[in-house]
Structure 1
Amino acid sequence: MNILCVAAHPDDTELLCAGTLARYAQDGHQVTIAIFTDGSIGDAVVKPEVLRVTREKEARNAATLIGAHLIWAGVTDELVFADREQRHLMIDVLREADPDVIFTHSPNDYHPDHRYVGQLVFDSYFQKGLPSMPNQSRPACRFAQAQLYYMDNICGIRFDPTEYVDITETFETKKAMLACHKSQFVAMEDLASTDMNEMIEIHARFRGLAAGCRYAEGFVRVDAYQRGLTRRVLP
């Protein structure tokens, strides 16, 4: 299968579903990580033109650890909107990945970039397979019934998973992928007094307690028409 994670920022994938993506990769599936923004605004000291280059390099290094293809959409960080221009861009992202399974942000996450990316994925889902869509850079992909999942919210706030994935065997890979994002560790310490290693350890352990394993990631399956609801596709 073709597995796609569409995240707003560099490191969102690692925080919220890298363990699951690593499991898919181990099982021989094609994994694509799409980062919608350039991550250029998320530091109080480093200038955007420098940070943009750093964060793309970090994201590519992390994707390489599981053999994932990276799509770098390049929207300016903090300026995601569910508008016409960005919907055309999201349709092209989905067409490039041609997904059977999609992971993206929940509608009630804390960050507007997260929420709008999730909305754009949902709104662009049907158009990815329509060959007559105007102003698209990529041809239509398969008109497959891809299953869509919302990833956990940061720190699990106001998120009740409906399905879990046991990531006990891939948790170290998740940590290694997150470790690629060195600039994010500094920024999170400075701006949010947060140790990201501690954050993912606590979060994955908490979800694991609910799921009956050591470490887990939680998701909500999006139940909607043409979303392939008759089978479980999570590992």
Structure 2
Amino acid sequence: MFEIFNNYLFIGAHPDDIEIWAGGFVLRILRENKGAKVHCVVLTDGSAGYGTVEERKQESLNAAEMLGVETYERLGLKDGSLCMYQDLPKIIANLIRKYKPDMLVTHPRTDRHPDHSTIGETVEKSLFMAMTSPEFLEYEPHVCKNVLFFVSDPFQMPSRRLYIDISEVFEEKYKIIQRFKTQVDVLLPYIELNKFYGRQSGLLAVEIFEPVSIVI
């Protein structure tokens, strides 16, 4: 997979979402496919979490530098209120058209956090809008056929699962997560989940994703 796709778009609701659920995946992409471009977009300002908006912004910028991604964009929408944005399908469709990913990775519709589930529920509409030509969208149409969802809840495992071995980049991911000082107590249990999933597979650490659509 790392050599097949060259352009990735990761969309997270909050600062740290991409890093905690897919940081190892991002690191492996950039390590194993030197020509790959990874674009990360954080939709909200993080104001409903611990710490100030400015603190969370700086934490995410520090983490982005360590990840080494091509783009790290923050839209600054109000944290906890994504379901109130009627134009969210348009916003995400424009992101797809702007970055033209071969693969989109984001939150599942089944996530318990309302911001996360709103993104998952919206993505299908946005993918369709992105490949059409309505006048209210920017950029050229783009078709993205490959979609993965984060698996963020061990008690809501999807029936189809993609396991990504992050053993070789686990320590690097751990250091990145430690950059989120205001959220670290919340995030560390998810790091333990990486190790738990790994032990089940005889590995050091694993991230799990739901393959919504994979076309190779």
TM-score, length basis structure 2: 0.87
2:108–2:119 contact (8 Å) kept in structure 1: no
Q: Counterpart of 1:86?
A: 88
Which one of the candidate residues 7, 10, 17 is aligned to 2:15? 10
1:166–1:211 contact (8 Å) kept in structure 2: no
Q: Counterpart of 1:117?
A: 119
Q: CA deviation at 1:117?
A: 1.2
Gaps of 5+ in 2: 1-5
* 1:167-182 map, 5 Å: 167-182=166-181
Q: CA deviation at 1:87?
A: 1.5
Give the match's secondary structure for 1:208. helix
Q: Counterpart of 2:39?
A: 32
Which one of the candidate residues 99, 123, 131 is aligned to 1:97? 99
Give the match's secondary structure for 1:214. coil
Provide Cα deviations, 1:142-166, integer angstroms capped at 9, x if missing partner. 33x4310111124x22124511000
Distance 1:180 1:53 in 2: 14
Q: What value does the CA root-mean-square deviation take over the aligned residues?
A: 1.9
Q: Counterpart of 1:142?
A: 142
2:90–2:129 contact (8 Å) kept in structure 1: no
TM-score, length basis structure 1: 0.81
Provide Cα deviations, 1:188-213, integer angstroms capped at 9, x if missing partner. x4xxxx4x33x133201121133332
Q: CA deviation at 1:96?
A: 2.2
The percentage of counterpart residues that share the same residue type is 26
Q: CA deviation at 1:36?
A: 1.0
Q: Counterpart of 2:3?
A: none
Q: Counterpart of 1:41?
A: 48
Give the match's secondary structure for 1:77. coil
CA, structure 1 residues 203+142, in 2 after alignment: closer, same or farther (shift >3 Å)?
same
Q: CA deviation at 1:76?
A: 0.3
CA, structure 1 residues 38+127, in 2 after alignment: closer, same or farther (shift >3 Å)?
same
Q: Counterpart of 1:158?
A: 156
Q: Counterpart of 2:199?
A: 209
Gaps of 5+ in 1: none
Distance 1:183 1:120 in 2: 29
* 1:57-72 map, 5 Å: 57-68=58-69, 69-72=71-74
Give the match's secondary structure for 2:193. helix
Is the deviation greater in 78-87 or in 64-73? 78-87
2:104–2:147 contact (8 Å) kept in structure 1: yes
Give the match's secondary structure for 1:57. helix
Instruction: Show structure 1 runs of 4+ deviating over 6 A.
Output: none
Is 1:73 aligned with 2:75?
yes
Give the match's secondary structure for 2:82. coil
Q: CA deviation at 1:141?
A: 4.5
CA, structure 1 residues 58+65, in 2 after alignment: closer, same or farther (shift >3 Å)?
same
